[in-house]
Structure 1
Amino acid sequence: MESRSGHRSLRSSSQTEDHISALPDDLLLLILARLRCIATAVRTRVLSRRWSGSGGLWTRLHEIVFRDVTFPSLEAALGRVNAPAVSLLEIRVPYVHRPGTKTHVGSLGFNSLLRAAARLAPEEFVFRFPSDLTDRSLVVDLPCFPRTTSIVLVNFFLFLRVPDGVDFPALETLSLSGRVPDLDPLLSCCPRLRALRLRNVIHGGDLRVSSLWLQELFVARLYQRKHRIDIVAPMLKQLSMSFVSSGGSISVLAPMVEKVSWDCRYHDPSIVSIVFGLWRLERVTLQMGERQGHVPTLKICSRTTSRVLGNEEHTFAQEIEKHMIAGFSVLELHLTTNGHAFGALVFHLLKMARICGSIRRLKVILERSTMKEECPFDCFCEPWNWRSQTISLSALEEVEVNGFQGYGQEIDFLKLISQCAPMLKKTTMMLSEETTASNDECAKI
């Protein structure tokens, strides 16, 4: 009995003893900071009497992260923070996971919460809005963040407004995902902004970025429609653009740019088709300075269709020229022939002044089909006699053709290239899988 009693007494003593409360505050704060979530930190108050109550240790953290706190409780939780200097404030408003249920929050609720966040003056502020909002026509005022150097707004489907008198004197990095407002009023309030990042952009009008000191611009997944892209950034060093276009205008003024990643896709031919005979433009990319040793390259992807789309030669060239926002020395053509000739299209592109005088290397990648590659004499894939062209490719030194089969139009293409390129040093032909060293086409090569 004594042993049993003694055992019960020992267990009772171990349950009441609070070893965690004896640890110094700095160590306890370090443990809480490693949790990376205030809700988790608050739940750990069962481990120590010093972590509970209004003076909980989590309120003194320098990195405040709310991930699983419901919207009505967020502002009250922010009011309890008494850290002398908040380095990070991250708020991720949780989604409502019940089917058929959406988050009901008015603009006053968002404005009040943002003002409470601004009062903490964080160095870095991250706010992830719920994507299941009932009303996406709400107008939200962005308050002043005087000490904040980085602001990230994610899933922002509301209308963002910058009231008069609001500025961001320390802001260096701004990231927006969702509905992008008119950027001119916002950028004018950010005299130290160096990096602007836009992701999954929903923009109802022209996209204008004008900043004297901006050095990095990143735009991913922008749907342009027929609106205008206008970039004026004289100090810009890095430019990355990824967007879907329907033929809108493009203007880029960035004379100091060193790295360019430009990717434009033409996905919906029912809205607009940039065409040349049977050829439809699908994609234009420009890569410059992405990695050491990389040669600036303009890549054009085009494919033929089964019906005549038109002969908008001038429009086809004009559309491609919009994307020549920086110099390049390699022209790479990805052509899906579907059984048609490609010489007329290639020489139509080579006639462009920005191309014929600058390219040192031409690479043509032919994606074949099961159809026979020889076209009828009067096929519309050859709208004019390109074989009689006289073009000065004065800088061209190297030609590579992948998917070569040795048909008549391909041999004519190589002959004309050699005549137009007096500095040509190397020609590489990668045969298609259907071509073997023993057939007649290889003998022609």
Structure 2
Amino acid sequence: MGPSCCGGDGEVGTKRAKLSSDASAGAGSEDHLSALHDDILVLILRHLGTLAAARTSVLSRRWRGVWALLPELHFVFSSDPNQIGPAIQAHEAAIRCLFVGTRDAGPESVAAWLPIAARRLYGSLFFQNLKREGSAQEGDDEEGPGQRGAFELPCLERATNVSLHLGFLGLAVPPAGVFARLTELCLDRVRLYGPGDLGDAVSWPRCPCLQKLTVRDARGLDNLAIHSDSLRQVELTDLQGLRQLNIVAPALEELKVTHCFFSNRSQPVASITAPQLATLAWMDPYDPSSVHLGEMKRLRLLRPFFFIVYGPDSFPYNQSCLSLLRRFKVIECLTLALAYLWDIDDYHYMMEDMTMLPDITILQLNVLANGHAFGASAFHVLRMCSSIEKLMLSFVPPAEVQAQTTCPLGCICGEHQNWETEHLLLNRLKEVKVTRMRGSEHEVTFVKQLFNWATSLEKMRVVFDESVTESVAKELSQVLQSFARPEIRMEIRTYMEDMLKKMMCVPED
């Protein structure tokens, strides 16, 4: 794994010489496997689990220390966690990658092996603690970290990548020490508490090389202040209880803040200083009087909170979306989500509140229709950004399997259908990509209208939803092809075909 492992080369060379000497002592045997070069034996052992590889030491003197040359250690979920510490202790070479998987481990179990690993690790650490069925639930916020206990994160001085998925174990951040080589840190499902402060630990000078920070499903983090000259990506998701966020990062290029302020009834407070920021996803309440974004002259992609099409008067989250949209005059790419609740009969049509959009070139429009007629709301958006050159339309599937596929008879979503006869000219639109299409009447009607509006359209790609059968996909393909003009290049894929192309890294035209 690159230069991070170079520190162990001298140790490995010394051990190889010793192992070769042991091999010559038993040269009279017919054990051809043991006669192989150390490098070959290490390659063989890498296909075993680490504990199984360690057990080969009992085969003969020749095998006694071969497993200790392994550059990567993997302790899978079936391993006895009590064996992890002794196995790492017995391993003498530099560890380039350490993976530990446990089930419902307690903090004392982690504390038994993690400090040992910290002294041997020269690369990546991946730790995943899965919750057993019937154990404490992940959303059990009444149980604080002090009640369950916690382990302290040692200063991983030579680690380059640390990813901890803790199943809501308590984690104590060290109050001092330097993570000198750490470039990526991911904390997932974690309960944080003192004496250390997470913001201080990931800031300069304690984390001088950190480029990517991800914190998801965190508890116990009410104030996060980060000052870093190296950070380029920050993703914060579901930080329950967060009250204040402060980021000063001159090199930051991508910031995603999602569902971090929802649990607080108080006004969100944030200050972001990131003059190089290119991507901003702020999926949270936004009030310009308390959330200060600073100068972002290089911003090219914006994603605000979703917009509820039918809702109560003065819906606060819609106002957050609109306030953020007004904050920027020109954006190259805008990601906008329109959401329909299942039961909308007692709500008002909210699209008239959206009176302007930034000047954009690319629109990513995500529609969660829940079976409702969505054409009017999507038309409203397109009418305000008629100079776009590329449209990516995604039909978001309902979160619940049993969600409605068609709205009830007489639903108010049918009251705004004059959009089909209104004039709209998208004469700069060259490319359209439609994803997760299931073939409902509303979807087909809207896609047909796109062909009429986009007079200069050159290419359309359609990817069907995974629920679409092969026979339905064939029928839909014929319908869509009938809408296209001869000069339009059509590309239609099933969900599986699209996934295979992505897995094979086939570049898009």
TM interval, shorter chain, is: 0.5 to 0.7
Question: 1:319 deviation in Å?
Answer: 5.1
Q: CA deviation at 1:205?
A: 3.8
Letter in 2 for 1:238: E
- 1:358 equivalenced with 2:369 (yes/no): no
Cα distance change of structure 1 residues 66 and 334 upon mapping to structure 2, 3 Å threshold: closer
Q: CA deviation at 1:80?
A: 0.9
Report the Cα offset of residue 313 of structure 1.
6.6
Query: Cα offset for 1:425?
Result: 6.0
State the match for 2:310 in structure 1.
304
Structure 1 residue 340: deviation in Å?
7.7
Query: Quick one: distance in 1 between partners of 2:244 and 2:170?
Result: 20
Matched residue SS, 1:20: coil
Instruction: Summarize the Cα distance change of 1:183–1:217 in structure 2 as closer, same or farther, 3 Å threshold.
Output: farther
**SS of corresponding position for 1:140:** strand
Which position in structure 2 is the counterpart of 1:127?
127
Listed one character per residue, the Cα deviations across residues 274-326 of structure 1 (whole Å, up to 9, x for unaligned) are: 9xxxxxxxxxxxxxx99xxx976768441425xxx3x3277742454358887
In the alignment, which residue of structure 1 is the partner of 2:179? 168
**How far apart are 1:172 and its partner, in Å?**
1.3
TM-superposed CA distance for 1:63, in Å, is 1.7
Where structure 2 has 5 or more consecutive residues not aligned to the other structure, the ranges are 1-28, 137-142, 288-297, 377-383, 394-412, 430-440, 447-509
Which among 144, 147, 150 is matched to residue 158 of structure 2? 147
The answer (yes or no) to whether the contact 1:343–1:410 under 8 Å persists in 2 is no
Q: 1:21 to 1:205 in 2, by over 3 A?
A: closer
2:278, 2:81 → 1: CA distance?
Answer: 44
Query: Which residues of 2 match residues 400-419 of structure 1 at below 5 A?
Result: 410=418
Question: In structure 1, what is the Cα distance between the partners aligned to 2:370 and 2:173?
Answer: 54
Equivalent-residue separation in structure 2 for 1:45 and 1:240 (angstroms): 48
- TM-score of the pair, normalised by structure 2: 0.53
Residues 126/325 of structure 1: CA separation in 2 closer, same or farther (3 Å cut): farther
Distance in structure 1 (CA, Å) of the matches to 2:163 and 2:366: 42
- 1:149 alignment partner AA: T
| 1:146 CA displacement | 2.1
Query: Match of 1:29, SS?
Result: helix
Displacement of 1:117 in angstroms is 1.1
Structure-2 change in CA distance of 1:130 and 1:298 (3 Å): closer
Q: Distance in 1 between matches of 2:370 and 2:149?
A: 51
Q: Is 1:328–2:328 an aligned residue pair?
A: no
Which residue does 1:264 correspond to in 2?
283
CA distance in 2, matches of 1:321, 1:245: 16
1:312–1:167 distance in 2 versus 1, CA, 3 Å: same
1:193 deviates by: 1.0
Q: Secondary structure at the match of 1:123?
A: strand
Assess, with a 3 A threshold, how the Cα gap between structure 1 residues 349 and 253 changes in structure 2: closer, same or farther. Answer: farther
Q: Secondary structure at the match of 2:359?
A: coil
Provide the C-alpha distance between the structure 2 equivalents of 1:323 and 1:203, rounded to a whole number of angstroms.
Answer: 30
Q: Give, as a single letter, the amino acid of the residue that structure 1 aligns with 2:254.
A: Q
Q: 2:351 — aligned with what?
A: 346
State the distance in 2 between where 1:314 and 1:41 align: 58
Q: Distance in 2 between matches of 1:151 and 1:227?
A: 26
| CA 1:301–1:205: 2 relative to 1, 3 Å | same
Whether 1:28 aligns to 2:41 is yes
Task: Check conservation: 1:341, 1:409, Cα contact below 8 A.
Answer: no
Compute the TM-score of the two structures, normalised by the length of structure 1: 0.60
Match of 1:69 in 2: 79
Distance verdict in 2 for CA 1:24–1:323, change over 3 Å = farther
The separation in 2 between residues aligned to 1:214 and 1:20, in whole angstroms, is 49
CA distance in 2, matches of 1:196, 1:206: 17
User: Once structures 1 and 2 are overlaid, which stretch shifts more, 183-192 or 234-243?
Assistant: 234-243
Q: 1:170 to 1:193 in 2, by over 3 A?
A: same
| 1:281 paired residue number | none
Name which one, 1 or 2, has greater alpha-carbon Rg.
1
Counterpart amino acid of residue 168 in structure 1: F
Task: Choose from 229, 241, 247 the match for 1:213.
Answer: 229
Matches within 5 A, 1:102-113: 103=105, 105=106, 107=108, 109-113=109-113
Is 1:196 paired with 2:192? no
Matches of 1:130 and 1:366, distance apart in 2: 31
1:125/1:152 contact within 8 Å kept: yes
Letter in 2 for 1:302: I
Give aligned pairs, total: 345
Q: Shift of the alpha carbon at 1:162? A: 3.2
Which of the residues 39, 44, 65 maps onto 1:56?
A: 65
Q: Deviations over 1:339-376 (max 9, x none)?
A: 8899973332215xxx3x635788797959789x99xx
Q: CA deviation digits over 1:7-56, x for unaligned, max 9?
A: xxxxxxxxx84221222222212221243x2123134457x42465xx43
User: Does the residue aligned with 1:255 lie in a helix, a strand or coil?
Assistant: coil
Map 1:72-87 to 2 at 5 A: 72-83=82-93, 85-87=94-96
Deviation for aligned residue 1:147? 1.7
1:175, distance to aligned residue in structure 2 (A): 1.6
CA distance in 2, matches of 1:341, 1:358: 34
Q: Residues 30, 209 of structure 1: CA spacing in aligned structure 2 closer, same or farther, 3 A cutoff? A: farther
Aligned counterpart, 1:177: 188
Matched residue of 1:321: which SS? helix
**CA separation in 2, counterparts of 1:413 and 1:347?**
19
Q: Which residue number corresponds to residue 279 of structure 1?
A: none
Deviation at 1:212, TM superposition (A): 2.1
Could you tell me how far 1:190 is from its partner in structure 2?
A: 1.1
Residues 187 and 210, structure 1, Cα contact 8 Å, conserved in 2 = yes
| Cα deviation, residue 235, structure 1 | 1.0
1:38 paired to 2:40: no
User: RMSD of the TM alignment (CA)?
Assistant: 5.1
1:317 aligned residue: 319
In structure 1, the gaps of 5 or more residues are 1-15, 96-101, 267-273, 275-288, 375-392, 419-423, 437-445
Judged with a 3 Å threshold, the aligned counterparts in structure 2 of structure 1 residues 259 and 164 are, in CA distance, closer, same or farther, namely closer
Q: Percent identity?
A: 22
Q: Which moved more, 1:238-247 or 1:174-183?
A: 238-247
Task: Describe the shift of the 1:370–1:220 C-alpha distance in structure 2 as closer, same or farther (beyond 3 A).
Answer: closer
Contact 2:254 2:279 in 1 (8 A): yes
How far off is 1:414 after superposition?
5.7
